[in-house]
Amino acid sequence: MKSVFWLMGLLFLVILCWGSIMLSYGKNDKSEKNDKKPDVKLKPLNAAEKAVIIDKGTERPFSGKYWDTFTPGVYYCRQCNAPLYVSDDKFKSGCGWPSFDEAIPEMVKEQPDKDGVRTEITCNRCGAHLGHVFRGERLTIRNTRHCVNSISMTFVPDSSEEAGRAIFAGGCFWGVQYYFEKEPGVIKTIAGYIGGDKPNPTYEEVCSHDTKYAEAVEVFFDPKQTSYEKLARLFFEIHDPTQVNRQGPDYGDQYRSAIFYVNNEQQKTAEKLIGELKEKGLDAATEVKPAKRFWPAEKYHQDWYRKKGGKPYCHIYTKRF
């Protein structure tokens, strides 16, 4: 009889220990999953928006707000406000939905669709359903079409004072990007080229001094968390604006100091800050010009110091204001 009770007691202990292990595993697993979720504030969605963004539906062709919109500006995720596409990459495909041949780097995720045929695209920040991507149609030189539901996006024209996009050129784009990507309120930075006319410039072509392109950084920011003026002040403090066609040991017109504004308010702000610097005795040589098309640089140039480590060799923060 004692042996029966002893076996029952042993079995109870085994079950208790196993339950504790599984409970602990479940907590750890949940913790790991929560750690991987981005700290993103999501906007409330109405029923129509949920049907597409959450339930992965599709709006009717030619019915969306942006299918035939080509005003310069930026398209943001309707759910989390992450920048997804710029109007420079939008084209007329005739399909009835907004079409882009490229997304802002690392902002759109591709994954197999549940139908086993198509490739779904979602916001890489919050997972919102955007639409599908198709390749091989030969509609543009990039041979890619991001077919996006208008209802999945919010469009902010460059002309708006709330435009959360800025473009700065101040020497090697590695160093400029290093400082801006650390700045609170900045959502995304991209190293690239601006100021020339040749489509799809390469690093080698820009370095040839024949393209008129400057190495620059495109900055996407949340106007509710920071301001264009604050970012422009930072720009003047992370490089020497008095140097002409160079920055530190880097020589060449591609390293010139320049601000490429996307609206009149940015132009006024840039010119005001240059005036303040000159009043302080600094002969700022920074150009202020309207933004042309910005071309992202090669992938290996992006986030150079974050991937390689270290700090910029030609950009040192200097208080100027």
**8-26: per-residue pLDDT in tens?**
443 443 333 334 333 333 3
Q: HEC states along 13-72? A: HHHHHHHHHHHHHHHHHHHHHHHHCCCCCCCCCCHHHHHHHCCCCCCCCCCCCCCCCCCC
pLDDT number for residue 254: 97
pLDDT number for residue 5: 38
Q: Is-contact 181 303, C-beta < 8 A? A: yes
Q: Is-contact 222 187, C-beta < 8 A? A: yes
pLDDT digits (tens, 9 = 90+) for 189-207: 999 999 999 999 999 999 9
pLDDT digits (tens, 9 = 90+) for 150-173: 999 999 999 998 899 999 999 999
Is 147 labeled as catalytic in the residue annotation? yes
Catalytic residue among 77, 172, 207, 314: 172
pLDDT number for residue 12: 41
User: With 80 as the cut, is the pLDDT of residue 6 above it?
Assistant: no
pLDDT digits (tens, 9 = 90+) for 280-296: 999 999 999 999 999 99
CA–CA gap between residue 110 and residue 132 (Å, rounded): 8
pLDDT digits (tens, 9 = 90+) for 76-104: 999 999 999 999 999 999 999 999 999 99
pLDDT number for residue 40: 80
User: With 50 as the cut, is the pLDDT of residue 34 above it?
Assistant: no
Q: What is the mean pLDDT of residues 224-238?
A: 98
Does the pTM surpass 0.75? The reply is yes
CA–CA gap between residue 26 and residue 44 (Å, rounded): 30
Q: Which domains does the chain have, with CATH numbers?
A: 47-157 (2.170.150.20), 165-308 (3.30.1060.10)
